[in-house]
Structure 1
């Protein structure tokens, strides 16, 4: 697509061609308009060891290295941006765990998938000599005695704290103004993702009508119609004077109707930024193809002014289309979720400088910024200032004056917002002889910006020092982190810069809001060696081709009963080690949660489904099925459980279908049908039953899909069914999910030990996975010592009965809502988090913290506020997507420990837990 050029388009094109020609000519470096494009000699091989592996689910995958470049960048660099080598070589790069998280650098509250990516960037940082540099807070408000009353980031940190404590009902907005380094949303995308993970997402934020340049990614913008739009930018020779504010770009049309389209999934609020002026036309708004409202863009007075219009987005909306008719000028659209969280606006102008942003019409700049109500404004320029200084096109005094004025405009427009100035990064130039040298003046500009930030009451971040100081650009180029123009980082370099800035922000926040994370609540699989050695040895033998079965039984509460987590874990493990069958399914009501695993249940007639949380009176007492459930059927009632509905048939596969039931004195002998064939009744026991007894009946089956039907005969007593299981006589893994909603470790403790242990032994587990603790966290008077003793005793008993190894999963984050609607941590969550690692140690089990994997303190709230929610509104349970993210993190840590043990070593830092 192409937008109509301004009237100076041909002049600009000729100027660029002339500049390129002079730059490749044999002239002294100072007379070249652009850095030398001549490349004499090889730059040396790229360091493949720095190529990062692909990210896990839940973390954005590396994007194509198409960086937005300034007008100063040579066309060859623009071409390279779209053809550069992929950054996702899975065979190269630092593996997870090579760079353990260092306490205090800001990694403490990242979810497991994001922490994986952060650790990779930490490994890259160490290799490149980049540094963790703290933000210089400076002072924005002084007391009468001259001491500082409020530092430069205080409003932003307070807003984040209010989000954390659920005391804020509006978004926390950041407006990040910069140059080509962020024009394609590199650097800022990492910061946005991390902040939204920690504090919740408030939506995408400000987006342009269309992308600003052919280079770079199509991001932070809509998709405009093919022609008819005229784009004018503050960086143009004839910029749109007296019209645009900090948004920096005007998209205008005066002919036939022109449109642009946005994806708005997850957004509930939108706002159009436009110029109201006399005799203007209108904008038709359509949501999912249906017209919803028309916005008139004409001014009510004689003067043009920045204006805004709210747009209606119904729940579930997917697309927003704007069609401009008549004379109109649009500046962009903001999209928000309408919920508390982070909104991070990125406005990167190719060739941006402080002087460029000062070209904005002052009233429009103030109006747009004030209307946005930011808690933080970030100013990220300096690269082009340093370039122009090196070409003697400006002076240091002019650079100082321009930054002083820009800081003043921001502080005046939004006096209650925090502001932060970033230094330019390092860059290089190529001499006429082909030598690579550091570009002059970056450090001088950085120092000027530091001084003006301090004088203006803004915080300051030394990006140059974080990158590694002067000369680092040359090292980054050799390592494949910079484009050949020696000015713009590639994707990996940008990700590293975003990573360093994010952690600096997080450290600043932790100064006044330290995370309340128990020392034992860390990510990764702890105590894997020697707790899981035999299980890992069996998996290694299975992977090597041994014909054996590996059984895993997971016991727990609703997180287990939901099946979403265990289904994902089962899928991942059976894909690697083989599928030996679906395992155990409890008797019960039909459930859509079983559909993904091709399992179904039916209940016909009168059935009572009882659970172990509240034992009813009756002869069966505390005897329950493996999940703490039993289904009691009246005469004439029938129950069915079907496995592998819709699976591809394999008539050669042999297996076994087991039915778990309860025989009791006076109970009816049920009629059993397997795959439509009636099973002959068993002979009555030689001695009449005097007490309830668990009976497991096993039936050989052929094929993949099987079903069992149990009918209670008419005219007799009731019958009790506990569940059924299906296994194949093929090598592989069986993963049982044995969960009871609302259960605690005390629930399992109080169930009939002999009956439960006998059933568990019949499942032949090699590994017992225990996932209790989330419901214990809700008990106000929880006895932590009693939990430690009883839970350890329960695990010890079951291990003795089965001979299995054990692994404990700690609770997810759990919140409770008070009378004012504010979310607070569950009353005993900290007790549970401090107790369960000791329970695991006492029982000789491995330990994995689900809460730490989610991101630690108040992570449930952040998971609730994701664009696609990962946490349920009840503050307790996860969505299916959330369970999938958590399961992926669990499998990754489990397999990292497995691989390390298989190689004969201890688990890596990631597998052993990273602080």
Structure 2
């Protein structure tokens, strides 16, 4: 009798878990017919504003100039989707109710072809890093540099990507951090606990700030002597302080558990500097201390050397690709090269669409800004994989039955981002289609997953977007294991149009 009771008890525990795992499997591979990759819900077709010059996809190499590189070696492991986390299972259930379309995957074009198979795709460098992590052969982290606007500035979407990939391939630590939050609210995932006077400036502001920006698109300047910021340490062996050597600025120093560890000696030459320091084993707290006013910090890097995923959240409120170009190019390139990412991730488009609607920009400017920003980033990190994610659905208030109507210019921006991504040898993810296409944000609003501004998702809305991106990356990693199959997913590409 006792044994029978125990058997029934374990059945009650295991059956819900197995059903949840089956539900997750259907989320990834589903029994529904495949949906065309670019199809979207029907909506009103809008006439695009003519750009300065037509944008086109790069063409496949001609037969007169065959490309025959040696075939890429097979992955060292058999790629398989990792087991779903409890959060992923929960978000799957929420997504089913909201009508998301998880079958919408990445466009991962072949950038180097060998006969009928593909030797290299846009995401090969990142996927090879995942192989190395999964096989246990990695000795260092795989860094992702994620550029974006307010959609990721709060760190929620990319935090899901960071945690889900970290759970599957290892956690490499925090990466690039700020001395304080950009607003007096929100999480401190990527910021220290500031004390004293610090003023934050960003490249997303309407008026360009006085001092140069670097990779982060943000700097903090002290307004009071002895301002400081504290970071709790978790065993990181080294750290780096990015700072500007401004004339008449106060000296900066780094303290560990109350003792000075390193000091930035200013010369007043206006140059960006990097102060690197070793952290003693067992250290608990790191303090960045400014002795006077005018000291400028561009960022703090705290990272483990163990294998795993590190995701640098480089999100700036109100930013678009053109505003990211406000960063001083030599500082941007040096700092991005120092980070040596395996994946450049661009999450842009929402602000571009709004500025088109307001008449503050045109399609030619949007096109040129994104192309230039991608090229600048890839020039600083030429061995990185590259992925562009388009804008989410966007709505505005209305009257009558059309209380929420879709904002204009989404089609145009999605089309431009997709074409530039593929032409530049980057992958593309259409998050608009994946979240359900036209009308999807209205469903998010009805579920309470969007703020009152009807622009910024919140709570499970943000988490769901992060999960869709994570699942697309993982499915792309598994699907691209077969080079011959990959060659059928997207045509081979050559270099895009010459810089204009």
Aligned mate of 1:441, from 384, 409, 428 = 409
Q: Quote the Cα distance in structure 1 between the aligned partners of 2:128 and 2:143.
A: 13
Matched residue of 1:117: which SS?
Answer: helix
Report 1:577-592 matches (<5 A): none
Aligned mate of 1:488, from 444, 456, 461 = 456
Q: Quote the Cα distance in structure 2 between the aligned partners of 1:255 and 1:476.
A: 43
Aligned to 2:253: 284
Aligned mate of 1:211, from 162, 178, 181 = 181
Aligned mate of 2:215, from 246, 253, 269 = 246
Q: Could you tell me how far 1:348 is from its partner in structure 2?
A: 1.3
Q: Quote the Cα distance in structure 1 between the aligned partners of 2:458 and 2:345.
A: 22
Matched residue of 2:25: which SS?
Answer: coil
Backbone CA RMSD of aligned residues: 2.6
Q: Quote the Cα distance in structure 2 between the aligned partners of 1:395 and 1:375.
A: 32
Q: Which has the larger radius of gyration?
A: 1
Aligned to 1:153: 123
Report 1:603-614 matches (<5 A): none
Aligned to 2:291: 325
Tell me whether 1:315 sits opposite 2:294 in the alignment.
Answer: no
Q: Could you tell me how far 1:148 is from its partner in structure 2?
A: 5.6
Q: Quote the Cα distance in structure 2 between the aligned partners of 1:140 and 1:409.
A: 19
Aligned mate of 2:425, from 457, 475, 479 = 457
- The answer to whether the 8 Å contact 1:179/1:381 transfers is yes
Q: Quote the Cα distance in structure 2 between the aligned partners of 1:117 and 1:219.
A: 19
Aligned to 2:262: 293
Instruction: Go from structure 1 to structure 2 and tell me whether the alpha carbon gap of 1:332 and 1:226 turns closer, same or farther (over 3 Å shift).
Output: same
Report 1:639-788 matches (<5 A): none
Q: Quote the Cα distance in structure 1 between the aligned partners of 2:19 and 2:94.
A: 12
Matched residue of 1:176: which SS?
Answer: strand
- The answer to whether the 8 Å contact 1:222/1:262 transfers is yes
Aligned to 1:345: 312
Q: Could you tell me how far 1:146 is from its partner in structure 2?
A: 11
Aligned to 1:354: 321
Matched residue of 1:481: which SS?
Answer: coil
Aligned to 2:473: 505
Aligned to 1:100: 23
Spell out structure 1 runs of 4+ moving beyond 6 A: none
Tell me whether 1:225 sits opposite 2:195 in the alignment.
Answer: yes
Q: Could you tell me how far 1:498 is from its partner in structure 2?
A: 0.7
Aligned to 2:393: 426
Matched residue of 1:298: which SS?
Answer: coil
Q: Could you tell me how far 1:354 is from its partner in structure 2?
A: 0.7
Q: Could you tell me how far 1:291 is from its partner in structure 2?
A: 2.2
Aligned to 1:237: 206
- The answer to whether the 8 Å contact 1:280/1:298 transfers is no
Tell me whether 1:385 sits opposite 2:308 in the alignment.
Answer: no
Tell me whether 1:138 sits opposite 2:109 in the alignment.
Answer: yes
Q: Could you tell me how far 1:384 is from its partner in structure 2?
A: 0.9
CA deviations over 1:107-160 (Å, ceiling 9, x no partner)? 96545xx522211111111111111221111244567x9986421111111112
Matched residue of 1:480: which SS?
Answer: coil
Q: Could you tell me how far 1:100 is from its partner in structure 2?
A: 1.3
Q: Could you tell me how far 1:263 is from its partner in structure 2?
A: 1.3
Q: Could you tell me how far 1:251 is from its partner in structure 2?
A: 1.1
Aligned to 2:302: 335
- The answer to whether the 8 Å contact 2:105/2:472 transfers is yes
Report 1:846-857 matches (<5 A): none
CA deviations over 1:245-294 (Å, ceiling 9, x no partner)? 22011112365121111111232221111123455543221112222222
Instruction: Go from structure 1 to structure 2 and tell me whether the alpha carbon gap of 1:329 and 1:109 turns closer, same or farther (over 3 Å shift).
Output: same
Q: Quote the Cα distance in structure 1 between the aligned partners of 2:224 and 2:442.
A: 49
CA deviations over 1:644-683 (Å, ceiling 9, x no partner)? xxxxxxxxxxxxxxxxxxxxxxxxxxxxxxxxxxxxxxxx
Aligned to 1:177: 147
Q: Quote the Cα distance in structure 2 between the aligned partners of 1:382 and 1:110.
A: 30
- The answer to whether the 8 Å contact 1:173/1:343 transfers is yes
Q: Quote the Cα distance in structure 1 between the aligned partners of 2:472 and 2:291.
A: 46
Aligned to 2:98: 128
Aligned to 2:133: 163
TM-score with structure 2 length normalisation?
A: 0.77
Matched residue of 1:167: which SS?
Answer: coil
Q: Quote the Cα distance in structure 1 between the aligned partners of 2:332 and 2:113.
A: 27
Instruction: Go from structure 1 to structure 2 and tell me whether the alpha carbon gap of 1:355 and 1:146 turns closer, same or farther (over 3 Å shift).
Output: farther
Instruction: Go from structure 1 to structure 2 and tell me whether the alpha carbon gap of 1:424 and 1:96 turns closer, same or farther (over 3 Å shift).
Output: farther
Aligned mate of 2:240, from 256, 271, 276 = 271
Aligned mate of 1:117, from 79, 87, 93 = 87
Instruction: Go from structure 1 to structure 2 and tell me whether the alpha carbon gap of 1:103 and 1:167 turns closer, same or farther (over 3 Å shift).
Output: farther
- The answer to whether the 8 Å contact 1:211/1:219 transfers is no
Q: Could you tell me how far 1:450 is from its partner in structure 2?
A: 0.3
Aligned mate of 1:201, from 160, 163, 171 = 171
CA deviations over 1:190-217 (Å, ceiling 9, x no partner)? 1000111111111111111100023433
Tell me whether 1:259 sits opposite 2:182 in the alignment.
Answer: no
CA deviations over 1:697-753 (Å, ceiling 9, x no partner)? xxxxxxxxxxxxxxxxxxxxxxxxxxxxxxxxxxxxxxxxxxxxxxxxxxxxxxxxx
Matched residue of 1:453: which SS?
Answer: helix
Matched residue of 2:206: which SS?
Answer: coil
- The answer to whether the 8 Å contact 1:97/1:119 transfers is no
TM-score with structure 1 length normalisation?
A: 0.43
Q: Quote the Cα distance in structure 2 between the aligned partners of 1:480 and 1:95.
A: 27
Q: Quote the Cα distance in structure 2 between the aligned partners of 1:436 and 1:95.
A: 38
Q: Could you tell me how far 1:298 is from its partner in structure 2?
A: 3.4
CA deviations over 1:444-499 (Å, ceiling 9, x no partner)? 21111000101111111111111111211111101122222221111101111111
CA deviations over 1:154-202 (Å, ceiling 9, x no partner)? 1111112122223321211001011111111111111000111111111
Q: Could you tell me how far 1:385 is from its partner in structure 2?
A: 0.9
Matched residue of 2:101: which SS?
Answer: coil
Matched residue of 2:263: which SS?
Answer: strand
- The answer to whether the 8 Å contact 2:81/2:475 transfers is no
Matched residue of 2:280: which SS?
Answer: coil
Matched residue of 1:238: which SS?
Answer: coil
Matched residue of 1:160: which SS?
Answer: helix
